[in-house]
Structure 1
Amino acid sequence: MSVRLPLRPVPTTAHPAVVDRATWQAACDDLLVREKAHTREGDALAAARRRLPMTPVPAQARVQGPDGPVPFVDVFEGRTQLIAYFHMWHDGQPPEGQCEGCTFFTAGIQRPAYLHSRDVTLVVLCQGTFEESRPYADLVGDELPWYSARDAEPLLAGRGFGFFAGYLRLGGDVFETWWGTGRGTEAMSPSYQLLDRTAYGRQETWEDSPAGWPQLFDARSGAQFRVAGRPTIQWTVTDVEAAAGSDEHHAACH
């Protein structure tokens, strides 16, 4: 079933100043200097990541797939590199009670062919059991390889779910090369990069915006990933309203 996402009109009459094109272009040119510096600093950070050391992943690391437990090295699908997103899960909750942030980030890339061309596999490692969580992936149209990493402490290494990590395979040995959480996971979603280039931005309460700009979403509660009580992506696949009490579960994601 395809359901139309509820329209959310911008509740403001505030807008950028209107100027002639020459004035506008001059302002864009000034900003471009800073944008280029930002790009170069991002390049420098990426270069530093490429120079990080790496740490072994214990050979006993296992995850659960459609055919049962498999060694973590099998998740690479024969490729040399792996990016894995560790998806939070709330046992026994219906789809509308699941983690809206993890749903948002893992839904951002569904055609990883370009990653494959660089010998990189992208997968989801879920906190829930495979039997309970895989139907959720099917519901929201997440076509990435999906595994359960429940009880996979050799991979978690004391961390909670809600992060993503990079790995390198040398023969049958696997090494973790980098990981990020919090706002570091924004790299998984091009939607944020696009919103940052709009006049009103992400419309989240923490943003530094001019007076009168819409700031509708409290990022501390996960509200930026929900519309009318359920993860935004679910509006395209189901018309089920959010279950009572689901707020306490999605608040636990943050």
Structure 2
Amino acid sequence: MTENDSSAPAPDRAPALPPVADRAAFEAELDALRVREKAHTREGDAIAAARRRLPMVEVDAGLELTGPDGPVTLLDAFEGRRQLIAYYFMWHEGHDAAGQCEGCTWVTNQVRELSFLHSRDITYAVFCQGPYEESRRYREFMGWDMRWYSALPSNNELLTGRQVGSMHIVCYVRDGDRVYETYWTTLRGVEVMDYNYALMDMTVYGRQELWEDSPSGWPQTMDAPPEHPMRTNGRPIPQWSRIEAGRSDDLTPGP
């Protein structure tokens, strides 16, 4: 491990532990919690069912995006599929990689295998809210291979009524050449893209972030301030492996 490896354990950590119980008492407590977990799952299913019954609003299918070969339309981004999930990536123009959004880096870094989405006639793409060439270099720095567009030519129209410059997931469906928006989320809604937090939430110490309701003595070891929990040693956490591999922070477009 290197000094920048966020997976390295803190050598002086001596966290508190839950009380010890016998197997029967442990299983009884777990069974009681399982009732709540199952209710939570059923409520999630009910919310998803309600989401499928929302009305939709038409969006101009000709709104311009910028792709690797220049201008394309929102309709083009469907790539012929019926549905489109677009992640609107926050962007800090003119900053190097370390200065980019750690939250967007965190969730985008989870998106790897798209065949399951494709099997349901869904295209996934990133709509970066910054210029194409600069943001494309960040995509290459991170080693991502999902479809990447700049939404800068149409940010205000695509995100009408919402905060431009914030993280959003927006879902679309098309009917022939007409495009409709069916759902959108923001802020913690983007956690659906991540599995790390879901796994952390199953552990005894959770996410180890300051806002969590944890017993006294539980570790809260993030070295970032509370508003930047996905950073360590001054940059988004998954960037360290890219830096150690020799990739450049510089996102200035080349010739």
Amino acid at match of 1:165: V
- Once the two structures are superposed, what CA deviation does each residue of 1:60-89 show, in whole Å capped at 9, x if it has no partner? 311100000101011111111111110011
Aligned residue in 2 for 1:192: 197
Normalised TM-score (structure 1) = 0.89
Q: 1:207 to 1:86 in 2, by over 3 A?
A: same
Q: Is the 8 A contact 1:85 1:123 kept in 2?
A: yes
Match runs of 1:196-215 below 5 Å? 196-215=201-220
Q: Is the 8 A contact 2:58 2:181 kept in 1?
A: yes
- Once the two structures are superposed, what CA deviation does each residue of 1:112-156 show, in whole Å capped at 9, x if it has no partner? 111111111111000111111011111112211100001312211
Q: Is the 8 A contact 1:3 1:235 kept in 2?
A: no
Aligned residue in 2 for 1:111: 113
Distance 1:74 1:36 in 2: 41
Matched, 1:5 2:11: no
Match runs of 1:37-56 below 5 Å? 37-56=39-58
1:157 to 142, 155, 160: 160
Q: 1:59 to 1:116 in 2, by over 3 A?
A: closer
Distance 1:225 1:57 in 2: 33
Distance 2:192 2:59 in 1: 23
Q: Specify the SS of the correspondent of 2:85.
A: strand
Match runs of 1:147-186 below 5 Å? 147-152=149-154, 153-159=156-162, 160-161=164-165, 162-186=167-191
1:230 to 235, 238, 241: 235
Matched, 1:91 2:97: no
Amino acid at match of 2:193: M
- Give aligned pairs, total: 240
Q: Report the RMSD for the aligned CA atoms in angstroms.
A: 2.1
Q: Point out the more displaced range, 169-178 or 13-22.
A: 13-22
Distance 2:77 2:39 in 1: 37
Distance 2:157 2:24 in 1: 58
Normalised TM-score (structure 2) = 0.88
Q: Is the 8 A contact 2:86 2:125 kept in 1?
A: yes
1:29 to 28, 31, 34: 31
Q: Is the 8 A contact 1:3 1:237 kept in 2?
A: no
- Once the two structures are superposed, what CA deviation does each residue of 1:217-245 show, in whole Å capped at 9, x if it has no partner? 477521x11110011010111148xx9xx
Q: Specify the SS of the correspondent of 2:152.
A: coil
Q: Specify the SS of the correspondent of 2:153.
A: coil
Aligned residue in 1 for 2:227: 221
Distance 1:227 1:219 in 2: 10
Aligned residue in 1 for 2:252: none
Gaps of 5+ in 2: 250-255
Q: Point out the more displaced range, 35-44 or 74-83.
A: 74-83
Matched, 1:65 2:100: no
- Once the two structures are superposed, what CA deviation does each residue of 1:100-123 show, in whole Å capped at 9, x if it has no partner? 110101111211111111111111
Q: Is the 8 A contact 1:12 1:213 kept in 2?
A: no
| Per-residue deviation, 1:13 | 2.6
Q: Specify the SS of the correspondent of 2:75.
A: helix
| Per-residue deviation, 1:40 | 0.3
- Once the two structures are superposed, what CA deviation does each residue of 1:146-201 show, in whole Å capped at 9, x if it has no partner? 00001312211142231111110111111000000011111111111111111100
Q: Point out the more displaced range, 10-19 or 109-118.
A: 10-19
Distance 1:49 1:8 in 2: 41
Q: Point out the more displaced range, 147-156 or 99-108.
A: 147-156
Distance 1:74 1:178 in 2: 19
Gaps of 5+ in 1: 244-254
